[in-house]
Amino acid sequence: MNVLYVGTPTWGWSKGLWPHKGTVSTKTWAGKTFKYYQVSKSARTTGPKIGTFVHENGHMLCGFPDLYPTATGFTTNVVGNFSVMSSASASYPSNPPPYDPYLRIGSGWLTPTDITDLPNTTQSLIANDPASVCLFTDTNSTGEEFLIEAVEKNGVNTNMPGEGILIWHIDESGSNTDNTGTFLEYVVQADGRSDLLNGTNKGGRSDFFCADSNRTSFSDNTSPSANWDNGSSSYIDINSVSAIGSTMTFNRGTGGSVVAVAQKNSIARGNEDITCSKGKLELSVPQTGIWKLSIFSPDGRLVSIRSLGLNAGYAVIPENLANGVYIAKLTGCGTSLVGRFLSR
């Protein structure tokens, strides 16, 4: 049930008609049965407002969490005006920015394009299309991921802090309402200044990646860094971000670095997780078990995939590869090893 009123509540935070979503014992009224309700103001002296209404219905209908700090003494807002479930509902009550991609995906409104295993590919995003989202996940299954969307300042995104490619960092072990040490969602600010974290602002134009501002790359070696919350490498390697437009593109690079050169028949031994020689691939695995080996070609095509029963230590796997740079990804036993190698 939606309960709407005109005016401004005066009793203070969480009292009286303060906007909120709540639960009551099951009620039947006018032939309709309900259990959940939301209370929000529908207008101010300057006309109808929808920000709070959309925010509270996000709670009531979809179970969306608040994305702003609510705990006593906790004031860090790392989503700011980028989502109606954060401060955007109050900052822009007439036309707030929409629900963010993590919430849209969780509600089943879209299936993102998973680029985790698509190195060396160019990805296109349609600006302001709620279903046009790319996903990059942590293969170690820690609940972390990056979501990538394209924004232009028009329509429902008129009041977004800026425009360009917007990258979200998701950590499902975190919270935006309380100080848990990690955040459920936060905006990766392209300028690397951490203004949201420091409370300097609620978002700005320089937080977006785009060629117009020469902020065109995002990896483990950039600022901001693409490392996961525990400091480990993500290998996402976004580069060549296009200019702002109705369609925007970026390159999903290979990530990591060249760890070995395959030449003649020698095997480069060392501390690398993945090394190689011509016709051979040498793998170092930390634990005995079933491992999945995926090898990608220089243009991003999946060349080989197989399941291997490997003992801890080194194993040599025959691979006949043409000349070029390849990406080897070894996944199993709760971990993932990624490395590039040059075959020549």
pLDDT tens track for 201-249: 999 999 999 999 999 999 988 999 999 998 887 878 899 999 999 999 9
Is the pLDDT reported for residue 326 higher than 70?
yes
Whole-angstrom Cα distance, residue 239 to residue 250?
A: 6
Specify the range with the lowest mean pLDDT, choosing from 86-100, 215-229, 273-287, 306-320. Answer: 273-287
Is the pLDDT reported for residue 317 higher than 70?
no
| Model pLDDT, residue 256 | 46
CB-count exposure of residue 184 (10 Å: 0-12, 13-18, 19+): buried
Distances (CA, A) of 324 to 301, 330, 343: 13, 19, 5
pLDDT: is 49 or 129 the higher one?
129
Is the pLDDT reported for residue 178 higher than 90?
yes
pTM, 2 dp: 0.72
Q: What domains can you pick out in the chain, each with its CATH number? A: 1-63 (no CATH), 69-252 (no CATH), 258-343 (2.60.40.3080)
| Model pLDDT, residue 270 | 34
Beta bridge partners of 277: 280
% of the chain residues with pLDDT over 70: 80
Beta bridge partners of 167: 148, 188
Stretch 151-158: mean pLDDT, rounded? Answer: 97
Tens of pLDDT along 2-26? 777 777 777 666 667 767 777 778 8
Tens of pLDDT along 327-343? 778 888 877 777 766 66
Residue 308 is encoded by which pair of tokens? 């291997």
Q: Left if phi > 0, otherwise alpha if psi is -120 to 50, otherwise beta: which for 155?
A: left
pLDDT: is 90 or 128 the higher one?
128
